[in-house]
Structure 1
Amino acid sequence: MKKQAKWMMMLGLAGALALSACNSGGSNDQQTSDEKSADSFGKQVKYEIIGIDPGAGIMKATSKAIEEYGLSDWKLIEGSGAAMTATLAKDIKNKKPVVITGWTPHWMFSKYDLKYLDDPKKVYGEAEEIHTIARKGLKEDDSTAYTLLDRFEWTSDEMGEIMTAIEEGAKPEDAAKKWADEHVDRVNEWTKDLKPVDGKPLKLSYVAWDSEIASTHLLQYVLQEKLGYKVTALQVEAGPMWTGVANGDVDATAAAWLPLTHADYMAKYKDKVDDLGANMTGVKTGLVVPSYVDISSIEDLKK
């Protein structure tokens, strides 16, 4: 009986040790699994964040995000807005994960099911605004154009109509005309009591973002067809866009993203331009992924 009791005690001790080992191993396995999951996602996308042109403010913010979140294995890929959306379209078609620099308003949010990654450190700031800025002296030189530009404001949904039409193949000028014809009341708000001119030249500049292509072509159409201006729309990089207005070589731009994206340019040129205020509010920038991707925060990119 003593031998049997001793044998049973040994079996119980062995079972307890085995159970303890299993529980301990389970915890470690779970931690390892989480780490492997983050590592696996990074490997799937080659630790690459697909960006746009190197001069864009969102690229500077993303470089800061990589540093702030400790994403030392990750690389920000420079390119263009068109190249970025082409990569996004290809990966979504193949149900592959992808991380891009994104902003709203943009047609890709209406075409694809996307989500912003949470930014607990607020590297990308709060919601931004798109401002219209004009050269010094435009108000005195041309009160009609200045007043129209000062009045111009619209919503992201309204802009989205033009952006979507362009993305589906319409020429920017045709999409702008169609929108103006379908929103006569809005156009009348901007042009009310303004006296048309006879072919007076006016220069606008803009960056090659889908949102700015939409807004600038709409302004060009309204200024030309409703107020008689001869408008030149110059597509340039962000630096020349701001410099042109500050130097007086360009009359205005409706493509200034503030307070974050174009913060450096505003700090440099704030005394040399007139800020007419926001023509759109509630815009946003950040890192964007397809909704089927199983991560929700920039912190999830870290191994």
Structure 2
Amino acid sequence: MTLLKKITGFGTAALLAFGLAACNSDDAKNDDEQTSGTKTTAGDSVDHTITGIDPGSGHMELTARALKEYDLTDWNLTSGSGAAMTAALKRAYDKEEPIIITAWSPHWMFLKFDLKYLEDPKLVYGDSEEIHSITRMGMKDDFPEAYTIFQRFNWDIEDMSEIMVAIEDGVKPEEAAQTWIDDNQDKVAEWTDGVANVDGDTLKLVYAPWDSEIASHNMMKLVLEDKGYKVELSMVEPGPMFSAIADGSADATFAAWLPITHKTYLDKFDGKFEDVGINMVNVKQGLAVPTYMEDINSIDDLKK
């Protein structure tokens, strides 16, 4: 214990006794808190804040709903971008600090960090989902070769993850996608078998600003270009993504998460696009924390 100035009337022994008494008092207070069970709550540990992503995403809409369903009225949901969220996760993870994030898989963060989803007993986020390929109305007639490829397109979480991790490690998206294509010629051949080449027809693909969709659309761009298409990629928020497909200003996307994540847009633009098929199954979303946060395992735990 350090005193910054001399206190008149106290001798050395008196000062030492005073300091020891103060320290013992603090220790007793801490012991009393531990004995009484007082401890930092989940909310206090993260300042009652969930670190989110882009505000237009279906995931953020569901998270806002989860705060209501679980009566987490004193919690805040911050918005930003997927990159900002993962940057915040890395900072916290490196210091083993608490953090709660909006999460989805496939995503490279589940390969880079030890994370766990919080249980969702009310199923606000639903069960596992699917990623669908959807096109504008009439695309089948305009680009039958591409349409056939879209119908056949199906891959695994592990496939997408290879591209995502490479991109996160600094490889350019097209280079990462090309490496995956080179290593998986058999799968690509299943999508393109018997499909005739075209001569420079332009296809416009749109996708949400998520690492998973960056991977899938850069990969499919190369597959289509190999068949003779000129492919234009546009990264937009989910709302404009569905709107572009519905009004015909874009041809297709492989980024429709159904039936929960994009339900709002599914209902809004019902009948204005064609669902070509499922390109990935068993995808998931929810809230996640690092596994070192051992006392938090369910969204219900956030109320404690």
Alignment of 1:40-79 (within 5 A): 40-79=41-80
Query: Counterpart of 1:101 in 2: which secondary structure?
Result: strand
Distance 1:59 1:246 in 2: 22
Distance in structure 2 (CA, Å) of the matches to 1:157 and 1:285: 17
Distance 1:229 1:31, change over 3 A: farther
Structure 2 residue 70 is matched with structure 1 residue 83: no
CA contact (8 A) 2:207 2:241 kept: yes
1:267 counterpart letter in structure 2: D
TM-score normalised by structure 2 residue count: 0.87
Misfit runs of 4+, over 6 Å: 29-32
Cross-structure match for 1:115: 116
CA drift of 1:140 comes to: 1.0
User: 2:66, 2:252 → 1: CA distance?
Assistant: 32
For residues 267 and 112 of structure 1, do their structure 2 counterparts lie closer, same or farther at Cα, with a shift above 3 Å needed? same
**Equivalence for 2:201:** 200
Partner of 1:25: none
Residue 247 of structure 2 corresponds to residue 247 of structure 1: yes
Gaps of 5+ in 2: 1-32
- The one-letter code sitting in structure 2 at the alignment partner of 1:88 is L
Task: Report the Cα distance in structure 2 between the residues aligned to 1:41 and 1:129, rounded to whole angstroms.
Answer: 31
CA distance in 1, matches of 2:247, 2:74: 41
- Offset of 1:32 from its aligned partner? 6.4
Residue 236 of structure 1 corresponds to 236
Write the letter of the residue equivalent to 1:245: I
Q: How far apart are residue 184 of structure 1 and its match?
A: 0.5
Using structure 1 for the length normalisation, give the TM-score.
0.87
User: Could you say what secondary structure the match of 2:41 adopts?
Assistant: helix
Report the equivalent of 2:156: 155
How many residue pairs get aligned? The number is 271
Alpha-carbon distance in 2 for matches of 1:301, 1:237: 29
C-alpha displacement of 1:92: 0.3
CA distance in 2, matches of 1:207, 1:143: 25
Q: Compute the RMSD of aligned alpha carbons.
A: 1.4
Q: 1:40: Cα distance to partner?
A: 2.8
Contact 2:42 2:301 in 1 (8 A): no
Partner residue, 2:290: 290
Q: Which structure has greater helix proportion?
A: 1
Show the counterpart of 1:263: 263
Distance 1:63 1:264 in 2: 14
Letter of the aligned partner of 1:286 in structure 2? G
In the other structure, the counterpart of 1:134 is 135
Counterparts of 1:95 and 1:247, CA distance in 2: 47
Matched to 1:228, the amino acid is: G
Identity of aligned residues (%): 52
Report the 3-state secondary structure (helix = DSSP H, G, I; strand = E; otherwise coil) of the residue aligned with 1:42.
helix
- Partners of 1:124 and 1:30 in 2: CA distance: 36
Task: Give the structure 2 partner of residue 212 of structure 1.
Answer: 213
Identify if the C-alpha distance between structure 1 residues 271 and 32 changes in structure 2 by more than 3 Å, giving closer, same or farther: farther
